[in-house]
């Protein structure tokens, strides 16, 4: 049965308009992008099949646009629409961190790091530079590594802080394994950075480790 033949209160678009996007399942949200399914299958049924094949929503959407385009029933146009939607979400979150707005909620910074770093196949160490009022100045990926780790050089972090005239920073890196638990090395480099930054009077506010679940805050653990 086509979605247009469903009762109105069960159709994804009508439910979204009435109750908001949060009321829809992953398959229903994906179905809105698809618009329609292959012959004999509704968009929702097709979305469920794609999710089942990938395992869940995240491994499906972590694919590159070319990989998405190769999936049954997607193609270049729908794959590009999905990739564009994901990027819009990231930029919308980044707009909340635009200079001029003080960063008062640590969870927002953690979510931003997760959007930027989660799903990368290699480890990336990034830094969010802040001014004296904790307003965002810039976000930079400073070090890239392998599947197992990235070497972090405190001297380079200090140089970038001076270049941005930053008063404070938040750092973060991803664990491609999906495990967000900080390692002993993560704690050690955090302390090295804290000490190096103290010499130039720059505060290290937090260090987020990004895995499959919620970002892990070293400050929340009492390790900063």
> 36 vs 8, which has greater pLDDT?
36
Closest to 181 measured CA to CA, from 133, 223, 217: 217
| b/e code 152-175 from CB counts within 10 Å (16+ = b) | beeeebbeebeebebbbbbbbbbb
pLDDT band at 4 (very low <50, low <70, confident <90, very high): low
User: What sign results for the dihedral spanned by CA atoms 19, 36, 55, 62?
Assistant: negative
Token pair of 39 as six digits: 């012959």
- What pTM does this model have? 0.69
With b for 16 or more beta-carbon neighbours within 10 A and e for fewer, the 46-80 pattern comes to bbbbbbeeeeebeebbebebeebbebeebeeebbe
Quick check: 133 pLDDT over 80?
yes
Q: Taking all residues of the chain, what is their mean pLDDT, rounded to a whole number?
A: 86
pLDDT (mean) for 120-148:
86
The tokens of 190 are what?
């955090």
What pLDDT was estimated at residue 57? Answer: 83
Q: What is the pLDDT of residues 72-108, one digit of tens each?
A: 888 898 888 888 888 887 777 666 666 566 777 778 8
- What residue spans define the domains of the chain? 3-92, 101-217
Name the architecture of domain 101-217: 3-Layer(aba) Sandwich (3.40)
The whole-number pLDDT of residue 61 equals 82
Per-residue pLDDT tens digits for 139-180: 899 988 755 556 789 999 999 999 999 999 999 999 988 888
**pLDDT for 195 beyond 90:** yes
Taking 90 as the threshold, does the pLDDT of residue 1 lie above it?
A: no
């Amino acid at each position: 049965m086509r979605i247009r033949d469903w009762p109105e209160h069960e159709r994804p678009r009508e439910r979204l308009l009435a109750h908001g996007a949060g009321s829809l399942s992953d398959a229903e949200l994906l179905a809105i992008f698809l618009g329609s399914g292959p012959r004999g299958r509704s968009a929702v049924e097709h979305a469920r099949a794609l999710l089942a094949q990938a395992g869940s929503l995240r491994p499906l959407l972590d694919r590159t646009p070319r990989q998405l385009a190769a999936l049954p029933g997607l193609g270049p146009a729908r794959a590009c629409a999905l990739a564009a939607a994901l990027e819009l979400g990231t930029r919308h979150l980044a707009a909340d961190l635009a200079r001029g707005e003080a960063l008062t909620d640590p969870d927002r910074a953690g979510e931003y790091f997760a959007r930027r770093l989660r799903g990368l196949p290699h480890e990336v160490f990034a830094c969010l530079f802040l001014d004296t009022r904790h307003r965002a100045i810039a976000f930079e990926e400073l070090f890239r590594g392998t599947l197992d780790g990235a070497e972090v050089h405190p001297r380079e972090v200090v140089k970038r802080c001076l270049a941005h005239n930053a008063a404070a920073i938040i750092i973060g890196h991803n664990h491609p394994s999906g495990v967000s638990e900080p390692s002993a090395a993560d704690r050690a480099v955090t302390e090295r950075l804290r000490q190096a930054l103290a010499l130039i009077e720059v505060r290290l506010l937090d260090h987020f480790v990004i895995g499959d679940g919620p970002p892990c805050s070293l400050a929340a653990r009492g390790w900063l």
